[in-house]
Amino acid sequence: MDGKFLFDGPEGAPVTLLLAHGAGAPMDSASMSATAKALAAAGFRVARFEFGYMAARRKGERKPPPRAETLNPEYRAAVAELGATGPLIIGGKSMGGRVASMVADELHTSGKIAGLICLGYPFHPPAKPEQLRTKHLAGLKTPTLICQGTRDEFGTREEVRGYTLSDQIEILWLEDGDHDLKPRKSISGFSAADHLETVAGTLRRWVSDLGR
């Protein structure tokens, strides 16, 4: 983590979101940028950051994604460096959300974060439904919102229904959405922008419920 953040949304927003990228795309990918802008339009302060291996690619170094758990210290460092003064929700896209989910409980217990948001959680690798990444989710104590496309190859609605997940986890299912939450409009009637608007609106409601 090189200490550089990409910001969207008002500086004085009451709630800040810290988002990490997925395994193969940077923090300024089209998907991450569209998501950040939609969340910022809903009144959130959005901060994006990159793990070290991804930042190194910008300098011409070719580094593959490391094992997700090895990135836990980098996520903790990002939270500390951001230094959000108000309520902070951590999370990210795919692997970024997975890493956040692995450090969430310790940060929540210590009062550093208010919740967790995962955008397209990688419940299992594509075409390998037996390789579940859900063990820690069964006992998760941090309030969590997972936004998932119903046809996400990393975990469809039909598959996820059979998983044992913490009662602290709420799942927003986005009709016909893929791993980027994008639907096929000709099939679903929804556009990618429609789904991002739903994500933003649901997050606003979910955050307001945290204070009750």
- Dump pLDDT digits (tens) for 161-187: 999 999 999 999 999 999 999 999 999
Tokens of 69: 């758990």
CA-CA distance, 189 to 55, in Å (whole number)?
37
What is the total residue count of the chain?
Answer: 212
Q: Specify the pLDDT at position 79.
A: 98
pLDDT exceeds cutoff 70 at 3? no
Could you tell me where the beta strands, DSSP code E, fall in 44-201? 45-49, 88-93, 115-119, 144-149, 169-174
Tokens of 75: 């996520």
pLDDT > 50? residue 75:
yes
pLDDT for res 1: 41
3-state secondary structure of 8: strand
pLDDT band of residue 63 (cuts 50, 70, 90) is: confident
Query: Which uninterrupted H or E stretch holds 36?
Result: helix 30-41
The model's pTM: 0.96
Q: Give the other-Cβ count within 10 Å of 95's Cβ.
A: 23
Q: What is the mean pLDDT of the chain?
A: 96
Only one residue has tokens 């190859």, namely: 153
Q: What's the average model confidence in pLDDT over 104-124?
A: 98
| Widest distance between CA atoms in the chain | 48
Q: Which CATH class is domain 6-210?
A: alpha beta
> What integer pLDDT is reported at residue 183 of this predicted model?
98
CA distance between the termini of the chain: 34
